[in-house]
Structure 1
């Protein structure tokens, strides 16, 4: 028994002495040097490619849309007694300021469906149901014209015309009651757009006096110089002539025109 205890004590002493011998303490007159462990191999983190800061555009598509189509809306107001503010607000809302798929694909700015009796071109588009039939126009201006005719030619919208063209709120709620849209908040949305962009000012705008249709800006004699954004339809409207007449006097086989081209007006 005594022999076992003695062996345990001897072994413990040897272990402690061994551990202590590995610890190196250097006391000398030289400066103490600390030896650090060699770091483990760690994979480098790849540097991300620097992305140039995107410059934010200040373009407001809705403002640009309003500026472009306000003159048409004002003309339609005097022709059909529909508030220009309502026409513009509907155009903004229904077409996403001219950027909706329906507006881009078919120049339909008011979401007007084919309905019975429509003989023009058509396109299918998902709305309340899949694959619904919508009217397709060659020019946005035609969409504005058809919008006015659509409201004036249907009995269910007849009650709207008892309101003045300056009473856009009555028109907004009247359109909803007449069934123009299924959205219950349709009137509030129209009114919100009108207020936000001050569209009511167009309801009080007067039509500019008509100039001699054969002496407009950028003409050469009885010719008109085509500028960016012009279409045969818009030129015909500007000078009170028909598209057919323009095509005949200029020998055009289709409606294609180019910037800088001179068109004979008569």
Structure 2
């Protein structure tokens, strides 16, 4: 009986062990966060918080002072005006785009390839080129002998693409319409691109070069200074013989003395006053 009992017990224990559920552990795998894709919106940024400097992110991030921007304008204003005469693109627009997209000439493509507008090779380009990370790694960009060639290619790019044709129906001195027209035609996807161009044009008064080419007068914007009305000092009243003054609310001997160009002591002596106390409606003699 004992043997039978132990045999049954062993079978029971074995069966329970076999039916015990398996426990599976799940290992959590942390995937690497994908890198943010560089978009055209990321490439063109202006830091408007500092009046003395511009932070320009074109093909490379640079920070330049207003003096550097002014020097860039001085170097290329003639080129921009010549291109306006030849191709009809406002000089103000060309200069503003050059400043923004080249970091005022200090960006990597501008310094190593004289490429001030980030113009890529495209299939028709047969000249020298450089590789630069942009929308994709190591993209092909045009390399120029002189920056002026980059300005020329920028003008040819706009004049040879049919989707930019509506721009050339706009007035040449309407830089705001051109800035918004470039965005509408698809030149940049950054929604703030027109405002950035307009801000540069107005801050550095680039529209005056458009006026020079068109032979029209340019009036520099004037800053409006709030004027505060300054009331002239009240002229002391002349004292005539037997002149009197009736005390009004808020008046004192001191204010009355100033009004009639006299002194407190004289008023007290004439009116037999022991102190400076006076009352509303009281008549004082002024001589």
Q: What TM-score bracket applies, with the shorter chain setting the length? A: 0.5 to 0.7
Corresponding residue SS for 1:60? helix
Q: What secondary structure, in the 3-state scheme, does the structure 2 residue paired with 1:206 have? A: helix
Secondary structure of residue in 1 paired with 2:213 = coil
Aligned residues: 151
**Superposition RMSD in Å:** 1.8
Show the counterpart of 2:162.
155
Q: 1:123 to 1:72 in 2, by over 3 A?
A: same
Q: 2 CA distance for matches of 1:185 and 1:92?
A: 16
Q: Distance in 2 between matches of 1:149 and 1:98?
A: 20
User: 1:61 maps to which residue?
Assistant: 68
Cα offset, 1:59, TM superposition: 7.6
5+ residue gaps in structure 1?
A: 1-57, 209-266
| Structure 1 segment 88-127 matched on structure 2, within 5 A | 88-127=95-134
C-alpha displacement at 1:84, in angstroms?
0.2
Q: Deviations over 1:144-190 (max 9, x none)?
A: 11111111111111111011111111111111122222322111111
Instruction: Tell me how far apart the structure 1 counterparts of residues 106 and 76 of structure 2 sit (CA, whole Å).
Output: 14
Q: Unpaired segments of 5 or more residues in structure 2?
A: 1-64, 216-287
Q: Deviations over 1:120-160 (max 9, x none)?
A: 22212122222222111110011111111111111111111
Answer with 1 or 2: which has the greater Rg.
2
Q: Could you tell me whether the CA contact under 8 Å between 1:112 and 1:135 is conserved in 2?
A: yes
Q: What is the aligned partner in structure 2 of residue 180 from structure 1? A: 187
Q: Please tell me whether residue 189 in structure 1 is matched to residue 186 in structure 2.
A: no
Cα distance in structure 2, aligned partners of 1:173 and 1:126 = 28
Of 135, 147, 150 in structure 2, the residue corresponding to residue 140 of structure 1 is: 147
| Runs of 4+ deviating beyond 6 Å | none
Q: C-alpha separation between the residues in 2 aligned to 1:184 and 1:129?
A: 22
Cα displacement string for residues 188-231 of structure 1 (whole angstroms, at most 9, x for unaligned residues): 111110011010111111389xxxxxxxxxxxxxxxxxxxxxxx
- Asked if structure 2 preserves the Cα contact closer than 8 Å seen for 1:75 and 1:207, the reply is no
Is the aligned partner of 1:81 residue 2:92?
no
TM-score (norm 1): 0.54
SS in 1 for 2:115: coil
Shift of 1:92: 0.3
